[in-house]
Amino acid sequence: MARPFKIPQSVLVVIHTPALDVLLIRRADARAHWQSVTGSKDSEAEDLHDTARREVFEETGIACGDGLLDWGLENVYEIYPEWLHRYAPGVLHNTEHVFGLQVPAGTPVRLNPREHTAWQWLPWRAAANACFSASNAEAILMLPRFAGR
């Protein structure tokens, strides 16, 4: 059975500690790609907050609780050519909604090995520099503003 096409609406969740250390995870399908948690809606009806909670838990094993914060930011970007086959014909752009999640230092991380192969906590500036995605790096650079610093 063919997989359904991805919905071109996704979330980016910057997971961080109170000290502004940021969790980055390395993609299994692109070993040089470090990123925050990302993922697409499962259905058109899925609420973006629910998408963010689901993706954080699926990719890291972290339960969001009440700590998920919608930053009210959207990025529209061109889908990388190597991933266009995942979307319906003619879909070229994705709209990414940005969230933050503060967790205590030392929060355990449990990766889904089909999606990610490693994780690391980095100070926010270093994390921004390590990201392959410009929109992810920009979101991390805004972290002090959204974390109240």
pLDDT of 28: 85
Mean pLDDT of 118-132: 97
Give the span between the Cα atoms of 134 and 3, in whole angstroms.
Answer: 28
Residue 56 has pLDDT above 90, yes or no: yes
Residue 29, burial from CB neighbour count under 10 angstroms (0-12, 13-18, 19+): exposed
Residue 149 has pLDDT above 70, yes or no: no
Length reported for the chain: 149
pLDDT of 66: 85
pLDDT of 29: 79
Give the span between the Cα atoms of 100 and 143, in whole angstroms.
Answer: 8
Global pTM reads 0.93
Tens of pLDDT, residue by residue over 8-44, are: 999 999 999 999 999 999 988 777 789 999 999 999 9
Residue 1 has pLDDT above 70, yes or no: no
Q: Is there a contact between 89 and 142 (Cβ–Cβ < 8 Å)?
A: no
The secondary structure of 17-58 as a DSSP string is: -TT-EEEEEEESSSTT-EE-EEEE-SSTTS-HHHHHHHHHHH
pLDDT of 43: 95
The contacts found for 74-77 with CB under 8 angstroms, 24 or more apart, are: 74/98, 75/12, 75/135, 75/138, 75/139, 77/135
Tens of pLDDT, residue by residue over 68-106, are: 999 999 999 999 898 899 999 999 999 999 999 999 999
Give the span between the Cα atoms of 29 and 8, in whole angstroms.
Answer: 19
Q: What percentage of the chain reaches a pLDDT higher than 90?
A: 82
Give the span between the Cα atoms of 116 and 26, in whole angstroms.
Answer: 5
